[in-house]
Amino acid sequence: MATEVHNLQELRRSASLATKVFIQRDYSDGTICQFQTKFPPELDSRIERQLFEETVKTLNSFYAEAEKIGGSSYLEGCLACATAYFIFLCMETHYEKVLKKISRYIQEQNEKVFAPRGLLLTDPVERGMRVIEISIYEDRCSSGSSSSGSSSGSGSSSGGGGGAGGR
């Protein structure tokens, strides 16, 4: 099967975007950034429940760490005040550091867990931290040039056959 980059045009070649699942924010604790760990039914046959939950919980913990009010954030604020906020030109804020960590984590999860299952996580920051977007891709014959609306059944069956052969 042709390898697929996360690029819409290239995706059409072999793995087409089938649908997207959006994990909404969990506001039960106020406006702190955390996402619902409820397992969406669309992913039921694509990924194991605990893998998904573990990913979301890890992300939630990252965001909690980013928003934590502690000594570091206080010092950062004081330093910024003292330098008339010129420090922001030179230094990365604590939140931004954690966001980079999150981005790396999401990429790693995509590579190791989600991409092999035909899923792709989108960093919530790109969506304004409102949702975690999970793109579900369907197996599709590399030669298939059908539109993205083509049946997923054929795609999955071909994927299954391919998988069988591959295995």
**Binding positions for another protein, 9-38, rule CB under 8 A:** 11-12, 14-15, 17-20, 22, 25, 27-31
Looking at the Cβ atoms of 57 and 123, the one nearer to another protein is 123
Give CA–CA dist 29/136, Å, rounded.
29
What is the closest distance, in whole angstroms, from the C-beta atom of residue 91 to another protein in the complex? 11
Give CA–CA dist 71/26, Å, rounded.
26
Number of other CB atoms surrounding residue 43 within 10 Å: 19
Looking at the Cβ atoms of 57 and 87, the one nearer to another protein is 87
Q: How many residues form the binding site for another protein (CB under 8 A)?
A: 90
Judged on CB neighbours under 10 Å (0-12, 13-18, 19+), 103 is middle
Give CA–CA dist 141/12, Å, rounded.
10
**63 touches another protein (CB under 8 A):** no
Collect all residues with Cβ–Cβ distance below 8 Å to 50 and sequence separation of at least 6.
none
Contact 134, 43 (CB under 8 A): yes
Give CA–CA dist 41/145, Å, rounded.
28
Tokens of 103: 């981005």
**145 touches another protein (CB under 8 A):** no
**56 touches another protein (CB under 8 A):** no
**6 touches another protein (CB under 8 A):** yes
From residue 68 to residue 107, the character string flagging contacts with another protein as x (rule: CB under 8 A) and all else as - is: xx---xx-xx---x--xx--x----xxxx--xx--xx--x
**131 touches another protein (CB under 8 A):** yes
What is the closest distance, in whole angstroms, from the C-beta atom of residue 17 to another protein in the complex? 7
**139 touches another protein (CB under 8 A):** yes
**55 touches another protein (CB under 8 A):** no
**155 touches another protein (CB under 8 A):** yes
